[in-house]
Structures are given as structure tokens and as C-alpha cells.
Chain A
Amino acid sequence: MKMDLILRITTKLLIPFMLLFALYVQFHGDYGPGGGFQAGVITAAMVILYALIFGLKAAQRVVPVSVVQFMVPLGVLVYTGVGVYTMFKGGEFLNYNLLGHDRVHAQEWGILLVEIGVYITVSGTMTAIFYMFAGRGR
């Protein structure tokens, strides 16, 4: 009972910082190591830690299976949407220069948007994989 208590309290303390770190990695991906994939995996690890300590049902109340299954194609849609938007504006697919008023800002916007798309898909996919594997064999 004592060990259980330590784990629960430590997890409750850690999880917000994990999410914060994931978002930090996400938004600093264009200037340091990071980006959508790494941040997505950290976010999924956060959900998995919660599921390990508090149980799968509790985790699925917080992050439902249907939401996770919706996130998987949503990120790809965001990514491809950015590309199609630049095509409508007259450039090639994923030509970031058309997203803003000058090149530097436009490139930043472009990287930000596609990395958000990657983040949504990767965190959704990793969590979905965990839910699929963990829910079997009962």
C-alpha cells in the first residue's frame, strides 16, 4: 500500500511537467533538437504512465479511445491541408514562402503548422497502439 502511494503521488506531480516538456520540445523543434515526432512520443508516454499507475479504465476516461482514433488521421489532414493551401495560393505543394508576408516568418509558420500536424498524429498513434495492446488478453 505504501509503495502504491509513492507511485501515485509521484506520477501526479510528474505528469504536468511531462506535458510541459513535450510542448517545449514541440515548439522549439526548428531551433534545437525536437519537433513533432519527439513531442508526440513524450505525450503518449505521459498517457501510458497514467494508465500504468491508475489503470487502463481511468486513462480511457481522460483520453477516450474514440478521441485517439480521431486524432490519427486528423494530424495527416492538417499536414496535407497546409500543402493544399499553398497549392491554392499558387505555389508548389508545401511551399512555405506563401504562408506569410516575408520569407522568414512564412517558413516559421509553415514548420510550426506541419509539426503540429505531426504531433497530433504521432501522439494519437502511440496512445492508440498502447490501448490496442493493453486491452487484449483479458
Chain B
Amino acid sequence: MNPFIHELIAHYNQWITIFLMVSGLYIVIAKDNMVKKLVGLSLFQTSVYLLYISPGKILGGTPPIMDPKFSVYSNPLPHVLILTAIVVGVATLALGLALVVRINEAYGTIEEDEIFARGEEE
């Protein structure tokens, strides 16, 4: 039992990643409100950032600025990648919300089931 519990606790960052990913996906699929779907999407993307950054921290490593006193540095590359991914996520969220604003003006509602019901009549 002990090594199993130890495995569970040692990989806690990956458990958090999985939890965020699955809850984000669930919100996107299950909720009808368009803004809630975008929130779920954002949550889903956040789990990916965790997946990249958490292995990047080397235990016992300093921030990656070259200095003769230190020899073990944390990995700077995941931070660069995730900065890009965060900007992409922000742009996607902004675009999605702009579309929701326009859809609200065009249809009068942001609940997907109401919009589909209206779409059947078109």
C-alpha cells in the first residue's frame, strides 16, 4: 500500500493537471451557456500550462540566470513556451467573447439550446 500512496502523492502536479483538464472539458460539453463554455475552455487550457511548467522546475535549481556561484538551473524553455500559449489562450478567449457579444445582439440570447430551437425555424 505504501509505495502506491507514495506514487499518488509524489505525482500530485499531474493529478491536478488531469483534474483541471477533465473539469474544463466537462464544462465545455455539458453547459449550454456560451460564456460558461468559454470559461471551461480556459480552464482546460490552464491544465496544459501546468503540464509544461511543473516538470520545468528542477529541484535544487535556481532561476535560469547565469551566475558563477550556481551550477544547477531550472529549465527556462517551458516558461517561454507557456508564455506563448497563455497569449494564444487570451486571444482565443477575447475572440470567443467578442463572438458571444455579437451573437447576443443577433439572437437575443446566449443559451445554445434556445438558439438551436430558433435555428430550426429558419
Contact = CB atoms under 8 A, between A and B. Distances in A.
Q: Indicate whether A and B are direct neighbours in the complex (CB within 8 Å).
A: yes
Given A37-B83, A37-B87, A129-B94, A31 B101 contact: no
A37 B91 CA distance: 12
B9 interface: no
A48 to B, nearest CB: 13
Contacts of A133: 97-98, 101
Nearest to B95: A129
A103 to B, nearest CB: 14
B94 A31 contact: no
Contacts of B94: 129
Contacts of A62: none
Interface string B34-76: 0000000000000000000000000000000100000000000
A122 B94 CA distance: 13
B interface bracket (residues with beta carbon within 8 Å of A): under 10
A116 B101 CA distance: 31
A101 interface: no
A132 B65 contact: no
Contact of A136 (B83, B86, B87, B101): B101
A118 to B, nearest CB: 9
Interface string A19-45: 000000000000100010100000000
A107 to B, nearest CB: 13
Nearest to A129: B94
Nearest to B86: A37
A37 B98 CA distance: 21
Nearest to B80: A35
Contacts of A136: 101, 105
A31 B86 CA distance: 20
A37 B86 CA distance: 10
Interface of A: 31, 35, 37, 122, 129, 132-133, 136
